[in-house]
């Protein structure tokens, strides 16, 4: 009997710990996965961005706009890394976009609606190639859509 | 000597503060393998042959993306440095059974005279400048104290 009494405080402590853990579980339900997680993380995003850039460079309706960048391997790498950072950060990933603002980057370029639409077409083709589900595709395009006024006609 | 000490001290401050202001946070992108783009001009008589070739090229382990555009006849391959450009051209030419020529893109219009790579690495250069001048400054202060 004395032994049981001696064990009581330890038992009480154990009950308290279990209860606290259970409370924490009920208070912090698993958050919904971010778009970044649903897309498959940094490797999946980099694969889509690489395919998107390959589509753009092959597309002679807009590849002239990227001639200076493609001519310099370092600038090509920088553009690719900035795009990955931008998509990663916009979709809730652990990245920070370090490039210029869209307005700064496109000022003086006079990009037309047709060119912008061709670019979006190349992006959609890249997303389709990797069978990105419709919901994730729309969420991603919704993140990039508001950038249009800062890119077109600047 | 006193003038040199303080000049070096100011250079150290300049180097470290320049690095602090300009340096960029580390990103998961920095851990990805670097890539390069190779654009090849090809001519196919058969519709869809170019796209089929791009699909085959995409399966190569060193290739992260490949795209063929029927209108431009361009096959653009994004690959790591594990696959040198010359080898890629040979492999594509063998698959396509034709000569593959590189499409050279030329920059038009005014360009920044400072190379992009230098601007990108400027924070690191400033950090090293700060460390080097800092070491000299400490050395001079130490020598003066024990002179």
Would the ipTM clear 0.85, i.e. be above it?
A: no
Residue reference for tokens 């003086």: A108
The CATH number of domain B2-105+114-145, selected from 3.40.50.620, 1.10.10.10, 3.30.70.100, 3.30.365.10 = 3.30.70.100
Comparing CB atoms, the residue among A50, A60, A72 nearest residue B35 is A50
Rounded (5°) CA angle B143-B144-B147: 80
Q: Could you tell me if B116 lies within 8 Å of chain A, comparing CB atoms?
A: yes
The sign of the dihedral angle between the CA atoms of A53, A58, A64, A69 is positive
Identify the residue whose tokens are 């320049």.
Answer: B18
pTM score:
0.80
User: Is B128 a residue whose pLDDT tops 60?
Assistant: yes
Q: pLDDT digit string (tens) for A45-100?
A: 999 999 999 999 999 999 988 888 898 889 999 999 999 999 999 999 999 998 88
Look at the alpha carbons of B72, B80, A143, B25 in this order and tell me if their dihedral is positive or negative: negative
Sole residue written with tokens 């370092």: A74
Question: pLDDT grade, residue A13 (50/70/90)?
Answer: low
Rounded percentage of chain A residues whose pLDDT exceeds 70: 81
Mean pLDDT across chain A = 85
Task: Please state the domain extents for chain A.
Answer: 1-30, 33-151
CATH number for A33-151 (one of 1.20.1250.20, 3.30.70.100, 1.20.120.80, 1.10.490.10): it is: 1.10.490.10
Q: Residue A20 has what pLDDT? A: 55
* Lowest model confidence (mean pLDDT) among A36-45, A130-139, B110-119: B110-119
Confidence band, pLDDT 50/70/90 cuts, at residue B3: confident
User: For residues A57 and A102, what is the distance between their CA atoms, to the nearest angstrom?
Assistant: 20
User: Which uninterrupted H or E stretch holds A139?
Assistant: helix A134-144
Per DSSP, what are the bridge partners of residue B40?
B75, B102
Nearest to B78 among A53, A75, A93 (CB): A53
Three-class DSSP category at B77:
strand
């Amino acid at each position: 009997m004395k032994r049981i009494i001696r064990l009581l405080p330890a038992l009480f402590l154990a009950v308290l710990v279990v209860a606290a853990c259970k409370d924490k579980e009920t208070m912090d339900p698993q958050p919904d996965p971010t778009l970044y997680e649903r897309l498959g993380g940094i490797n999946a995003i980099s694969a889509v961005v690489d395919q998107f850039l390959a589509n753009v460079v092959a597309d002679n309706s807009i590849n002239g706009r990227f001639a200076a960048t493609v001519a310099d391997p370092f600038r090509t790498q920088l553009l690719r890394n900035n795009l990955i950072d931008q998509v990663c950060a916009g979709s809730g990933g652990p990245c920070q976009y370090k490039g210029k603002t869209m307005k700064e980057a496109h000022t003086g370029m006079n990009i037309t609606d047709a060119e912008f639409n061709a670019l979006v077409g190349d992006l959609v083709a890249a997303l389709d190639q990797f069978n990105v589900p419709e919901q994730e595709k729309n969420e991603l395009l919704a993140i990039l859509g508001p950038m249009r006024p800062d890119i077109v006609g600047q | 000597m006193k003038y040199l000490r303080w000049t070096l001290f100011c250079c150290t401050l300049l180097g470290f503060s320049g690095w602090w202001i300009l340096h960029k946070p580390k990103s998961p992108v920095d851990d990805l393998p670097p890539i390069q783009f190779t654009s090849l001009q090809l001519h196919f008589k058969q519709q869809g042959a170019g796209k089929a070739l791009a699909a085959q090229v995409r399966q190569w382990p060193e290739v992260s993306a490949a795209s063929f555009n029927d209108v431009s006849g361009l096959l653009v391959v994004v690959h790591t440095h594990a696959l040198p450009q010359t080898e890629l051209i040979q492999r594509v030419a063998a698959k396509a059974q034709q000569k593959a020529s590189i499409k050279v893109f030329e920059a038009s219009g005014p360009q920044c005279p400072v190379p992009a790579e230098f601007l990108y690495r400027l924070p690191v250069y400033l950090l090293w400048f700060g460390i080097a001048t800092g070491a000299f400054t400490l050395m001079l202060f130490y020598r003066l104290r024990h002179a």
